[in-house]
Amino acid sequence: MKYRSLIMLMAFGILLSPGARAQGGTWLPVEPMPTARESVAACTVDEKIYAIGGFPGRSARGIKTNERYDPAKNSWTQMTSMPTGRRMPVTGVVDGKCYVIGGRIDDGGTPLDNVEAYDPKTDSWTTHAPMPTARFAHAAAVVDGIIYVIGGTDGGRVFRLVEAYNPATGSWTTRTPMSTDRALHGATAANGKIYVMGGAFDMFTTYASMEIYDPVSNSWSAGPDMPLGKFSLSAATLDNRIYAIGGTYSLGSLDHVAAFDLASGTWAEVAPMNTRRVRFASAVAGDEIYAIGGSAVFGGQNHVGMQLVERYNPVSESDNFGINAGMSDAWFNPLTNGQGFLISVFPQIGQMFVAWFTYDIERPADDLEAVIGEPGHRWLTAQGPYEGDTAELTIYQSVGGVFDAATPAPITDPAGEGTMTIEFADCDTALLSYELTSLGLTGEIPIQRIVKDNVQLCETLISP
């Protein structure tokens, strides 16, 4: 950049949307982060995700907050705060410790060289040898216990340099630089190599290119370009694929996701996130990718941090995948707690039954009372056949009954009130689409299990 050009690029923000894309996988929301923030970092230790640092938005200073997400419980816990509040740090995990490196404190652009390590076992922090080159808007990846910190800016220069930290010796070394000066890029490790993609040099130059670093030969090679040039993205590795997630290609935010297949050496656009994001973090846990926090706007003073977190499941490639009895469970959308779906599958007759617990479309009057429950409570049922990974159901509503009484008998219109389609991506995620024709209501609801006890049964039933 001249970094001043990057500052200009940060000064405005619009929402952008790329063209049509191939679909693959499913993104579903999970429990939101307690602290809304952007420019946050994340790491995974023992299948738990730690969201560290960042800032609330606008011109706020970096914060010290450290919150842990447990995917098994879909819950967050406040952990010991980081010693140094900062925005835009990077992380690397070695020997069960999460190293937080660099970043900046506020809009002033002064870079940090701080290295602080969090040990989840003791819920404590330690300080380590500072990074030789203070910077932010950088990226990092770990190979064989060495953390490689790549590119970034110090507020005046954009770097192609690579510095490697060895926690075992507490020492830094300089490695062969990239061929391109980059900031706000993504980096991730796979099969002993590091893949760096995207980023920007200034407000006129956004990269689609990818460079591949081999730590053994200490050399770089060019990889295929991404389908879309973008910066302020996040990168992750899952199931022999590299994912370039979110970001922007000019002055906005994207839900765009592209996957690089390491076997074929090709890129493909996959299912977009539910939420457009820049300045966010990603982490992998339990064979899923999590997109954490961020902002919907890249620049200007209107950007504010998000609490929203969502997770990605690749589409099952098994020809045997299909609805089975293991999908009988309680399902919900974490963004609408207190509502949900009780799904029952009857394989012997190829039918699915759903009880939908929700609320009326508007709140009832304050003086309206109910003897049992809450006046705004509503429930519907749905029933119908399924085939493969999809159930096609009719929605019903029963009226006229009284609690625990045979009379008056409730009345149900056999024609139904509308239709419901549930398409399962895997044993733990699905997309529910509904059309209540009598009310003119349509929509989609991403759903997941409330608890995962039956996932193993489901996966066993689809195994060849």
Residues 45 and 173 in one domain: yes
Which pLDDT does position 464 carry in this prediction? Answer: 58
Cα–Cα nearest to 55, from 34, 40, 43: 40
For the record, the structure tokens of 77 come out as 């816990």
Which pLDDT does position 300 carry in this prediction? Answer: 66
Residues of the chain where predicted confidence (pLDDT) is lower than 70 = 1-23, 203-204, 251, 300-301, 315-320, 463-464
Residues 224 and 256 in one domain: yes
Domain membership of residue 19 (yes or no) is yes
Give residue 241's identity as a one-letter amino acid code.
Answer: R
* The last residue of a domain, from among 254, 280, 313: 313
Domain membership of residue 320 (yes or no) is no
Residues 247 and 99 in one domain: yes
Which strands sit side by side in the sheet containing 288-292, from one edge to the other?
Answer: 26-29, 309-313, 288-292, 281-285
Residues 424 and 307 in one domain: no
d(CA 33, CA 291) in angstroms, rounded, equals 11
Cα–Cα nearest to 272, from 247, 250, 297, 293: 247
Which pLDDT does position 84 carry in this prediction? Answer: 97
Domain membership of residue 251 (yes or no) is yes
For the record, the structure tokens of 406 come out as 């045979």
* The last residue of a domain, from among 262, 285, 313: 313
Query: 313 with 322: CB under 8 angstroms?
Result: no
d(CA 394, CA 397) in angstroms, rounded, equals 10
Dihedral sign for Cα atoms in the order 285, 173, 196, 306: positive
Q: What is the pTM of this model?
A: 0.74
Which residues are CB-neighbours of 334 under 8 A, at least 6 positions away? 29, 30, 31, 32, 74, 448
Domain membership of residue 369 (yes or no) is yes
Beta strand 75-78 with 377-387 is unpaired
Domain membership of residue 318 (yes or no) is no
Residues 288 and 339 in one domain: no
Which residues are CB-neighbours of 351 under 8 A, at least 6 positions away? 345, 383, 384, 385, 386
Domain membership of residue 21 (yes or no) is yes
DSSP state of 109: -
Which pLDDT does position 297 carry in this prediction? Answer: 85
For the record, the structure tokens of 27 come out as 């993104």
Give me the CATH number covering residue 365: 2.40.128
**Residue 260's domain spans which residues?**
3-313
Give residue 421's identity as a one-letter amino acid code.
Answer: T
d(CA 251, CA 345) in angstroms, rounded, equals 47
CB atoms within 10 A of CB 368: 10
Residues 335 and 367 in one domain: yes
Longest dimension (CA), the chain: 82
| Residue 393 buriedness (CB in 10 A; 0-12 / 13-18 / 19+) | buried
Phi then psi dihedrals of residue 453, to 5 deg:
-60, -35
d(CA 402, CA 259) in angstroms, rounded, equals 54
d(CA 260, CA 400) in angstroms, rounded, equals 56
Query: 272 with 310: CB under 8 angstroms?
Result: no
For the record, the structure tokens of 462 come out as 């689809």
d(CA 285, CA 91) in angstroms, rounded, equals 15
Alpha helices (runs of H) in 160-279, residue ranges in sequence order = none
262-305 pLDDT per residue, tens: 999 999 999 999 999 999 999 999 889 999 999 998 876 677 89
Residues 40 and 67 in one domain: yes
Give me the CATH number covering residue 154: 2.120.10.80
Residues 133 and 251 in one domain: yes
Residues 304 and 422 in one domain: no
Which pLDDT does position 243 carry in this prediction? Answer: 98
Beta strand 200-202 with 171-175 is unpaired
* The last residue of a domain, from among 291, 313, 335: 313
Which pLDDT does position 315 carry in this prediction? Answer: 62
Residues 292 and 343 in one domain: no
User: Length of the chain, please?
Assistant: 464
CB atoms within 10 A of CB 354: 21
Residues 183 and 237 in one domain: yes
Which pLDDT does position 57 carry in this prediction? Answer: 78
Which pLDDT does position 316 carry in this prediction? Answer: 44
Looking at the structure of the chain, the number of domains it has is 2
d(CA 139, CA 90) in angstroms, rounded, equals 6
Domain membership of residue 130 (yes or no) is yes
User: Which residue pairs from 195-199 have beta carbons closer than 8 angstroms and sit at least 24 positions apart in sequence?
Assistant: 195/141, 195/223, 195/235, 195/242, 195/260, 196/139, 196/150, 196/151, 197/223, 197/226, 197/233, 197/235, 197/242, 197/244, 198/226, 198/229, 198/230, 198/231, 198/233, 198/244, 198/247, 199/151, 199/231
Residues 105 and 42 in one domain: yes
Domain membership of residue 319 (yes or no) is no
